[in-house]
Structure 1
Amino acid sequence: MTRSFDFPGGIFPPERKIISTRQLLREAALPTRVVLPLDQHIGQAAEPCVRVGQAVKTGEPVAIGQGMLTADLHASITGTVTAIEACPIPHPSQGRYLAVVIERDPDAPETWQRMPALDWRSADSDTLTERLTRSGVVGLGGAGFPTQIKARVHERHRIDTLIVNAAECEPYITADDLLLRTYPQEVLDGARLLARLAGAERILVGIEDNKPEAIAALQAALADSSPERDTCPIEIRVVTTRYPSGGEKQLIKRLLDREVPSGGLPADIGVLCHNPGTLRATLQAVRDGQPLVSRIVTLTGEALAHPGNVEARLGTPIHSLLEEAGLKERELGQLLMGGPLMGFPLASTALPIVKTTNCLVAATRTELPPPPVEQPCIRCGACEEVCPASLLPQQLYWFARGREHDKAQLFNLFDCIECGACAYVCPSHIPLVQYYRATKGEIRAHRLEAQRAEHARHRFEFRQARIEREAAEKEARRQARAKAASRVTAHNAEAEPSPRGKPALGPDSKEQLKQLRIAQAAAKASLRKAEKALARAGESGNDDTADLEVQVATAQENLQAIETRLASAKEASST
């Protein structure tokens, strides 16, 4: 029997999963209107590539990812783009974000725009990675990390193990459970695909023992695998149920007895983790050419008459899903997205589901009553005993309250996975995770502000350097003109007048006056010509005017010298 390791802490909250596992997985009704936010993933938001009034097919790109850490977005229904505007979305901030709104004609048939199918066993890695980039696949376990980035992790890390994170430890949520019961072979093939891309030598499926039907389905699919599928050995490892076994670092510890370093990633220790939903979406993108336009959502809670799991199109209004599940509005006390420990409350049922919507809990007031009033910390240490990351939650709480950000980071605040185990056991009912989350947000905001200030400082320094350089170049040109003019003056003092003029005659000669007047007219014409050339260069925006400025200065000095001689000749002739 395979040895099982363990992680520190953890809790045993009521599972309440049986509520949504009595019915088979089904497809939700096709919505007539979807709202697709442009930032349904970690990283930079996508940019719209459609316009209002444009007709789109299901699977057609409506927004293109920008930068490296991003993801494309596709139309989840066939219809017309009716708006590209800021809309409320399901997010802890309860803010409004730019979204593409699509409406369909209920009487019109659905048409798809799919990409060409690929054989993942024979296609090269670059082709497969590009397909994931264009398919908009992200982590469906709740994080929303772009999958194509994980597919390229082998470029910097050596990966020996790919873990299928099927623990699904959060109470109420059964989306992965029903997915594994219904599509076990697709999940395993998706794991084989990504293992090949990452260069992994083996695949481990980590699943808790409270999912016997899913375990049986996986074992049957593994037994039925054809030889061509056995590209990478797969092992199913069943672990005892304890929250939060589904945490990435915690599951790695349980399966491999490896610890992800503080501030590090699983790839640093040769491991890659993927959610079952992500693996199936990856296979569909490659094998079927189908981008990510839907996901499985758990609809549960005692305020629903028909709880279960549905595969729903992205952007579907939450209220339509709840109505299908028989929402009893009078009994609804609280609506959560995610589970009761790591999820967050929703202020409205009009919000759309997004790529990271794995569960909607419609709870009654009795089922999930409002939290008691927060009391002062009694320093009991219970939070420290259950922390799965071996942190000191009590100390982090005091640092968070006192806004001592440096100390909070010194005590590894960012290693907190926000599982909520500490708040669950706190006898003072302190919402510890809210304090940690707020402090992380403040630290990130300060870092961003510091980065912007540093960027502004560099811009100021570059601007000052540019101004000083331009001033030095201008001064060099001025000095060059001055030297050129002085040379002309010296030359005119020693030599005869301009070649157009005749040799200087005696001061009492009328011929000399005539020749000097001719030279004066020629010098004036030469000056006007040089000045016009300089003016034309300035109007055309030509910065290279130094030679023309020297010519103007030279012509001015030449004219001045001739006029001086002419004045002297006139004075001499008058005497």
Structure 2
Amino acid sequence: MRLFRNMFANSKLRKMAGVQSIAHSTPGGITPHLHKSRSLRSKIMAIPIPPHLLIPLQQQQGTASAACVKAGDRVLKYQKIADATDSTSLDIYAPSSGVVSMIQNHTTINPAEKEQLCIFIDTDGKDEELAEIDAIEWQTLTREELLPVIRNAGICGMGGAGFPLPKKMETSSNREIHTLIVNAAECEPFITADQALIRERSEAVIQGAEILQYAINAKHCVIAIERSKGDAIAALSKSISHSSVEIVILDDKYPAGGERQVIQAVSGKELQANKLPADAGIHLQNVGSVYAVYRAVAESKPCISRITTLTGEALQTPKNFEALIGTPVSFLFDLCGIDKKNHAKTVVGGSLMGIELMDTSAPVMQSSNCLIAGSLAEFPDTIPEQPCIRCGFCAEACPAGLLPQQLLSYSRSEDAQQLEDHGLFDCIECGACSYVCPSKIPLVQYYRNSKEQLALSQEVFDTSKGWQARFQDHQYRIKKLKDEAEPRTAIKPANIPSAEEKPQGTFSKDQAILDVAAAVSRVKARRKNVIASSESPAKPIQADGEAET
């Protein structure tokens, strides 16, 4: 089954070697200034080994890993330092050799900058590796043998979402997958990590895609990339001359790289809101994740690094680094020559969906695709929002086809039912609506807060239902035990007569009247005696020795 249109009409692109197809159009989108050229001027550079590494035990969506080393242990490069605890957790490996100094909480890269448990390694500069493992001839392996190799490499999604790769592959393995899509769109401003990776290591990317295609038994494999990335397209075209991998060229707009937008552009079919890509027979992976799969299988190396873009006007030499996981952000900024006077804001990710980072001692994680040391010119102070003028620009820009102005109204009024009915959870928080809003309303912030409130309310509701169910189950068990228990006879003392032996009294109405009358008479008599004693004269006090007369 073929999912793509005919070849490009553009002769320049068609002259490039390789199979290329034009993507289907998708709704909405914007064309912001990209700010990409500065970080693409130089090649990918390896970083010197940092003196300290801070490896978070949770770098992905899911549960944290369990440390298998302790303070004082010496570790080697590629040595496992944490074990996966379930299917949403990952094995974690040491990025360099050194000594574990401590395991404690530290600020990490997340929207709330919450502290997470990290393994601190004081590196020794030797970069001493474990005994080298022979490369695997993956073509000789069965799928059942190949999947554990990928699973044990500790890879999560490197496009920003950080979904664990093993869990995603597990979901796809339970469904029939006809197409693997390698997402190389990288549409958000400032980020160039994937473009640089393809430009310089396209052969490895293609092999990684072929490995992943074989592992999930997909019939087709395509790489979706934006039209403007000519150097990356040229590199891919040369590398796929002996491959079945195809190239699909996307329109240059944001957010062309969103999961649902890429699927619609490649297949021409819109993925329903309550469906996963695997439900449509599609498996989607980021370029960085595919490259990590290549290294895990072809080179027998677990994931200990990623390509990260360092950019922003506050950096003298922006570029793409192959950064070790756990490298402090401040260490990378120093390598690029940061101008602290011009440094106004640190952003992780792109300028539209990225999060602001206040503590630059936080470490690089697998999902850290871009670090921006922005100036005031790039990230000006927030302008106070003005009233909505109902211009409709936000609705035109929305790639999900929502009505942002209506969602804003319901968010302000906290109307949960209307928010759900108008597709709040279909919002991908791309920020296109906020970007075009002339009133400078932070629409995404409103939607994000509403999602959190609804999720919290649902959590409270589910918790209360859970406790209610537990209570009812407890009551049922008690009743069942009582019903099933054998009747027991109490042991009575020998001197207490039984109920049969006790004389049984009889009730008489006449006798009851007589008893009441007798009780009343006794009360009256007692009252007379009390009154009489109080009215009698007191006896004189006799002196000692005097006789009574």
User: Could you tell me how far 1:290 is from its partner in structure 2?
Assistant: 1.1
Say if 2:324 is the partner of 1:313: yes
Q: State the alpha-carbon separation in 1 of the partners of residues 67 and 41 from structure 2.
A: 40
SS in 2 for 1:191: helix
Structure 1 segment 181-330 matched on structure 2, within 5 A:
181-223=199-241, 225=242, 230=243, 233-330=244-341
- Pick aligned residue for 2:190 from 138, 155, 172: 172
Answer whether contact 2:29 2:397 (CA < 8 A) is retained.
Answer: yes
Say if 2:171 is the partner of 1:153: yes
User: Could you tell me how far 1:477 is from its partner in structure 2?
Assistant: 4.4
Answer whether contact 1:114 1:290 (CA < 8 A) is retained.
Answer: no
**Aligned position for 2:50:** 31
**Aligned position for 1:351:** 362
User: Could you tell me how far 1:457 is from its partner in structure 2?
Assistant: 2.2
Taking a change above 3 Å as real, the CA distance of residues 246 and 384 of structure 1, as seen in their structure-2 partners, is same
The number of equivalent residue pairs is 476
Decide which moves more: 389-398 or 311-320: 389-398
Structure 1 segment 414-433 matched on structure 2, within 5 A:
414-433=425-444
Aligned amino acid, residue 414 of structure 2: R
Aligned amino acid, residue 218 of structure 1: L
Q: State the alpha-carbon separation in 1 of the partners of residues 209 and 410 from structure 2.
A: 42
**Aligned position for 2:122:** 103
User: Could you tell me how far 1:133 is from its partner in structure 2?
Assistant: 2.1
- Pick aligned residue for 1:141 from 153, 156, 159: 159
Aligned amino acid, residue 40 of structure 1: Q
SS in 2 for 1:62: strand
Q: State the alpha-carbon separation in 1 of the partners of residues 183 and 146 from structure 2.
A: 22
Answer whether contact 1:78 1:112 (CA < 8 A) is retained.
Answer: no
Structure 1 segment 498-513 matched on structure 2, within 5 A:
none
Say if 2:383 is the partner of 1:383: no
Structure 1 segment 380-529 matched on structure 2, within 5 A:
380-474=391-485, 476-478=486-488
Taking a change above 3 Å as real, the CA distance of residues 27 and 36 of structure 1, as seen in their structure-2 partners, is same
SS in 1 for 2:308: strand
**Aligned position for 1:524:** none
CA RMSD of aligned residues (A): 2.0
Please report the TM-score for the alignment, with normalisation by the length of structure 1. Answer: 0.79
Q: State the alpha-carbon separation in 2 of the partners of residues 3 and 170 from structure 1.
A: 20
Answer whether contact 1:258 1:269 (CA < 8 A) is retained.
Answer: no
SS in 2 for 1:183: helix
Q: State the alpha-carbon separation in 2 of the partners of residues 147 and 269 from structure 1.
A: 18
**Aligned position for 1:120:** 138
Structure 1 segment 322-341 matched on structure 2, within 5 A:
322-341=333-352
Decide which moves more: 36-45 or 455-464: 455-464
- Pick aligned residue for 1:18 from 12, 33, 37: 37
Residues 350-375 of structure 1 show CA distances to partners (whole Å, capped at 9, x for unaligned) of: 11111110001111112221221111
Taking a change above 3 Å as real, the CA distance of residues 456 and 158 of structure 1, as seen in their structure-2 partners, is same
User: Could you tell me how far 1:178 is from its partner in structure 2?
Assistant: 0.5
Q: State the alpha-carbon separation in 2 of the partners of residues 167 and 294 from structure 1.
A: 21
Answer whether contact 1:154 1:199 (CA < 8 A) is retained.
Answer: no
SS in 1 for 2:289: helix
SS in 1 for 2:152: helix
Answer whether contact 2:223 2:246 (CA < 8 A) is retained.
Answer: yes
User: Could you tell me how far 1:113 is from its partner in structure 2?
Assistant: 6.1
User: Could you tell me how far 1:115 is from its partner in structure 2?
Assistant: 5.8
**Aligned position for 2:545:** none
Say if 2:77 is the partner of 1:58: yes
Q: State the alpha-carbon separation in 1 of the partners of residues 134 and 477 from structure 2.
A: 52
Answer whether contact 1:58 1:113 (CA < 8 A) is retained.
Answer: no
SS in 2 for 1:204: strand
User: Could you tell me how far 1:114 is from its partner in structure 2?
Assistant: 6.3
Aligned amino acid, residue 120 of structure 1: W
**Aligned position for 1:49:** 68
User: Could you tell me how far 1:473 is from its partner in structure 2?
Assistant: 4.3
Aligned amino acid, residue 372 of structure 1: I
User: Could you tell me how far 1:84 is from its partner in structure 2?
Assistant: 1.5
User: Could you tell me how far 1:28 is from its partner in structure 2?
Assistant: 1.1
Q: State the alpha-carbon separation in 2 of the partners of residues 195 and 25 from structure 1.
A: 27
Answer whether contact 2:23 2:251 (CA < 8 A) is retained.
Answer: no
SS in 2 for 1:217: helix
**Aligned position for 1:360:** 371
Q: State the alpha-carbon separation in 2 of the partners of residues 292 and 155 from structure 1.
A: 22
User: Could you tell me how far 1:218 is from its partner in structure 2?
Assistant: 0.5
Q: State the alpha-carbon separation in 2 of the partners of residues 83 and 339 from structure 1.
A: 32
Please report the TM-score for the alignment, with normalisation by the length of structure 2. Answer: 0.83
Aligned amino acid, residue 154 of structure 2: G
Q: State the alpha-carbon separation in 2 of the partners of residues 131 and 188 from structure 1.
A: 18
The percent identity for this pair of structures is: 38
Q: State the alpha-carbon separation in 1 of the partners of residues 131 and 408 from structure 2.
A: 51
SS in 2 for 1:330: coil
Q: State the alpha-carbon separation in 1 of the partners of residues 189 and 465 from structure 2.
A: 44
User: Could you tell me how far 1:35 is from its partner in structure 2?
Assistant: 1.1
Q: State the alpha-carbon separation in 1 of the partners of residues 86 and 456 from structure 2.
A: 21
Aligned amino acid, residue 186 of structure 1: A
Q: State the alpha-carbon separation in 2 of the partners of residues 123 and 207 from structure 1.
A: 30
Q: State the alpha-carbon separation in 2 of the partners of residues 396 and 66 from structure 1.
A: 39
Please, which runs of 5 or more residues in structure 2 have no aligned partner? 1-6, 8-20, 498-549
**Aligned position for 1:568:** none
Decide which moves more: 305-314 or 209-218: 209-218
Taking a change above 3 Å as real, the CA distance of residues 388 and 114 of structure 1, as seen in their structure-2 partners, is farther
Aligned amino acid, residue 193 of structure 1: I
Taking a change above 3 Å as real, the CA distance of residues 289 and 450 of structure 1, as seen in their structure-2 partners, is farther
User: Could you tell me how far 1:18 is from its partner in structure 2?
Assistant: 0.2
Q: State the alpha-carbon separation in 1 of the partners of residues 188 and 140 from structure 2.
A: 38
**Aligned position for 2:547:** none
Residues 176-220 of structure 1 show CA distances to partners (whole Å, capped at 9, x for unaligned) of: 000001110111111111111222111111111111111111111
User: Could you tell me how far 1:116 is from its partner in structure 2?
Assistant: 5.7
SS in 2 for 1:180: helix
Q: State the alpha-carbon separation in 1 of the partners of residues 464 and 124 from structure 2.
A: 50
Q: State the alpha-carbon separation in 2 of the partners of residues 116 and 42 from structure 1.
A: 32
Q: State the alpha-carbon separation in 2 of the partners of residues 473 and 164 from structure 1.
A: 61
Q: State the alpha-carbon separation in 1 of the partners of residues 31 and 240 from structure 2.
A: 31
Aligned amino acid, residue 233 of structure 2: I
